[in-house]
Amino acid sequence: MLLDPVGWKKIRRTCEIALEKYKVNYAWVDTCCINKESSAELQEAINTMFRYYADAIVCLTYLEDVGEGKKTFEKSRWFARGWTLQELIAPYHLEFYDTDWRSIGRKDTLVEGICKITKIPENVLKRDVALSKVPTAARMSWASRRETTREEDMAYCLLGIFDINMPMLYGEGDKAFIRLQEEIIQQSADMSIFLWARHPFMPSAYSGLLADSPAHFRGMHSVIEKPYFNPTEYRITNRGIRFELKLGLDGTGIRYLSLKHRFPGVNRCRIALQRVATDVYIRVNADKIYSSSDIGQTECAFYVPQRITASQCDIIEQQALKIDCAGFVLTDHFPLGCWNSWNQRFHAHATGAFLGYIEFRKPDYQPIAIICHAMNGNWSCGVDHYGERLDNLKEEVKDARALMWHGKNTKNPLAVFMDLEVGFHSFGIVKKTLHLRVSLDEGGIGHICD
């Protein structure tokens, strides 16, 4: 470093300005005062760097890409780097210099422009408000457009922003950001950590509760915390994050986890969950944030995994049956929580055992009931119209499901419906969802078609 003329000039000018302008006898320069060859020293420096900036009499920021014939201040790549976020927020006094070491201005005099560039509130930049008072999602959003050379540093550069100390494990990739969120959860009841959204073009029907990257918090800078005196308790377990609270219902099989935060002009925010086992849920529609509304609520204890792997998504899909019901209107389904109207799927959940029905109607025709049964990844479906007997059919399905659920039946529960001359179609599902179509003949009779 000392043999590099540019680097040496940076150190020399820093010391000259510190001594001449600010009467400071000592300077700390990040590019040469951290021994990166020692993992212990590097970890100590990263965990304490925020405090270095916060306790400094003044911080001098050299923007080598700003000056005559170069980029303007607001276009500097300094605003796109992950590590410089804490350099901007932590100091009381911060002065910017261009490539020729001419003063651009101080943070307090440039604060309006910096707010527009970074979406960081003025009271945060001026340190008029404690960072702990800012919602987690908003703080994450400040890093959503920033980058680091190493993937793990996208988490490590945020340690000071959240007052977190944790080991540096280079080589773990995006697991570092998951670890950071888990550490935040251990120390805070701020539920906005779950308030994130994937890019709508990112492929994946299912998601865990934690974000893969700060980029998923983009747009959350305006999140507001609703005042409350009794924070929600949740904790990390080996089954996922455990909650014991009310989930909203909307009749489509989707549950909604209401968060104690909102956007300006919007009621409390919520995210969508889908049950995949008796007490386990995963996040669905992860590209969307919903506003709270007066929907039914039920209180329960449940778990949501921190993240979902591709292989786990495959397992979930193996337990799902898609019914393509184009042209029909859904009028009833059973059991609640197993049918998703948004993707037209029945979910057998983790046990792989399932019995239920779904009812459709079409103008000028009698209602159609599809009875669905699954066991060990194999599905059987029967379809017929029953007219006045439809209600009896649905009750028989409910009774048979109750027997199956309690292990009291010894044969395929569909046998009773076969005696009623319901037409059945059997098939297996291996890492895919079978698409079914229901057609009506001239007599109003329903048929299953592959």
Q: What CA–CA distance (Å, rounded) separates 194 from 202?
A: 18
Give dist(CA 44, CA 290) in Å, integer. Answer: 41
Q: Which residue has the higher pLDDT, 429 or 2?
A: 2
Q: How far is CA 419 from CA 274, 341, 380, 388, in A?
A: 34, 30, 15, 18
Burial class, 143, CB count within 10 angstroms (exposed 0-12 / middle 13-18 / buried 19+): buried
Model pLDDT for residues 267-288, shown as the tens digit of each residue: 789 999 988 877 899 998 899 9
d(CA 301, CA 254): 16
Q: What digits encode the pLDDT tens for the residues 136-176? A: 999 999 999 999 999 999 999 999 999 999 999 999 999 99
pTM as predicted: 0.80
Q: What is the pLDDT of residues 63-117, one digit of tens each?
A: 999 998 788 999 999 999 999 999 999 999 999 999 999 999 999 999 999 999 9
> pLDDT tens for residues 190-216?
999 999 999 876 666 789 999 999 999
Burial (CB count within 10 angstroms: exposed 0-12, middle 13-18, buried 19+), residue 236: middle
How far is C-alpha 246 from the chain's CA centre? Answer: 19
